[in-house]
A and B are shown apart, each in its own frame.
Chain A
């Protein structure tokens, strides 16, 4: 019997995430920890399964080991299937034309055969670096109702920030008449979220054309979408309302973590209907002895110090007299007695020695000029010695 999937999702997870500096030295951006117990990729994968999409290709290229191990057979997201499920798609060697993924469109192009195995009507293209909850099924319904060839999810952003995004200029009926990539003078405040639904045959056609074009950068935003628009294909915008955050920079990653705090947070994770699944670790519940205020703490924690306005990942130890304020501890980190961590993002497996001082209070640190707006960043596995000091805004990849 021939089997098919109506919609196949392709998740672009190959980006280096260079603006996350030390946090992506050894791992791909979608594998970066978020919100105490998650990794960024949990969000698009959970959105897929919560939207009824059970076939997902994850395109990896840059430092894929942690990501591959994490995604595994897809069991945490119920994506372990006999037909469909989640598949890691790395660049591969072919008889002719062996190459790395040369751009977002080329990455998808190289996996056309994967998509065709499922004979899909539609293909959903996703990014692996956004934090949001979205029902793709509603977007697909809109795509079908409009008989569109391509539907692009978008949301309103403040006009002054619009020049940072791909901007959609649309007619009243939602059709797109112009697509501008990071325009200096934006005509609209509708930003593309990097989420596209294509009617499969159109996608395959334009990917082939793009591949034959030697002048193309093989990028969806720059090449494929404008080419489709030029050819007069039906392109629709789909308005998304809700929380959405691109966590491609240190400060946006910090903000997105802080958005989880509070009894009524900016971004609510604990709704029962749209659960974000993750490979929940097997640690016992957090042991709390110290003072924990306006914070979230994942399992396995041993907290005897003071935690204020912070996100504490799995298996973190904060010893007596230690203080963690306005910070993110991603997991498996030890903050020894008397150490102070302020306005910082601390990656996994870090040891902060006794009485060490990391960063500075937010009021002071945010005046520091630099790549991270004053946020101090410690990379994976860094050891800070006893009484060590890491000034505000510093990015550390090595032991001190």
Chain B
């Protein structure tokens, strides 16, 4: 593969899931029993042969740092390259970055130092498996200035997003920002490939002209001045852009096809924890659920994702729930459509229920 450096935005779009990002950055939202969302983009990079990754951070990146550490679990603890955390940069005149462009400005030193010809930019708010080297090959083949990856799905949310009008040969003819469409669109998934030198030039330009938005000020007008190409990704893609989306994407993993696509072939790397294997008692009854190491199940569990160290007491029935690490559910409880953040304790005999379109959310460390 052409030599490529990766850049991951670990803190973009946090406003979409305020419940989950109150105490952490976007990338470190726990997902799928043992992962953090950033694992997907980061593993995609590693599995694409990228060995130098800069990770742009913002507020609350303690949990992200704790997760990523030296990068050894991704084989990114290297003498040369490896994982480089890019803490938020601000000088006396500037405040913390407010948008993608400002965030990128903070990464220019990292990009200038990079010897790699190409750069992949990716967010960490989605679950998908994509070999970025395919995008880079496409980029080279098309002789593009920028290649942007899109996924076709129906628009559901009203937050900031971008859709493409793509010609038959892959060239992007038009970019719409926040269109009012209700149908299936070619949605930009915030994965972009460019030559490192080209991206640096764009950033430099943006600084000189005082641009504010990467989308509005650079990409959208760029349709006529640059060679912009769209790369169609047609695999499983789940954007974690609301608590509902978070809930559904977790439960999607109960579908074998999704599991095989996301976890099959190449591993999704994550921080390894040495919990003991999951234990099922005499009274356990588990159906259609993912159960992680360290769990102790004495009750009934159906259609659930149980993270590490979750305890389900005797006589308790848990259905359609996402219980994050070290949740302890007492005896004779009844939980349905609950998303419970880490370290919460639910006392005996509690009945808690959300519904399919609105799961009941429990804050980290609650006692209920």
Q: List chain A positions with a Cβ less than 8 A from chain B.
A: 35-37, 75-76, 260-263, 269-270, 275-278, 280, 282-289, 291-299, 302, 307, 311-312
Contacts and interface: CB of A to CB of B under 8 A. Distances in A.
Given A75-B72, A286-B291, A291 B274 contact: no
Contacts of A288: 280, 286-291, 301
B291 A284 contact: no
A284 B289 CA distance: 12
Contact of B277 (A37, A263, A289): A37
B152 interface: no
B279 A289 contact: no
Contact of A294 (B269, B280, B306): B280
A307 B285 CA distance: 11
A287 B284 contact: no
Q: What's the interface size class on B, roughly?
A: 35 or more
A263 B298 contact: yes
B34 A296 contact: no
Contacts, number: 113
Given A292-B286, A294-B284, 6 more contacts: A260-B276, A269-B277, A282-B268, A282-B272, A284-B259, A296-B280
A289 B272 contact: no
A294 B282 contact: yes
A299 B284 contact: no
B253 A284 contact: yes
A285 B277 CA distance: 10
Nearest to A294: B282
Q: Is the interface of A mostly helix, strand, loop or mixed?
A: loop
Q: Is the interface of B mostly helix, strand, loop or mixed?
A: loop
Contacts of B269: 282
A279 B179 CA distance: 49
A53 to B, nearest CB: 18
Interface string B7-34: 0000000000000000000000000111
B281 interface: yes
A275 B34 CA distance: 18
20 contacts: A35-B277, A260-B276, A263-B296, A269-B276, A269-B277, A280-B272, A280-B293, A282-B269, A284-B32, A284-B34, A285-B292, A285-B306, A287-B254, A288-B280, A288-B301, A292-B280, A292-B286, A294-B281, A297-B277, A312-B277
A35 B290 CA distance: 20
Contact of A285 (B32, B262, B285, B288): B32
Contacts of B276: 35, 37, 260, 269-270, 276, 296
Contact of A293 (B32, B262, B282, B292): B282
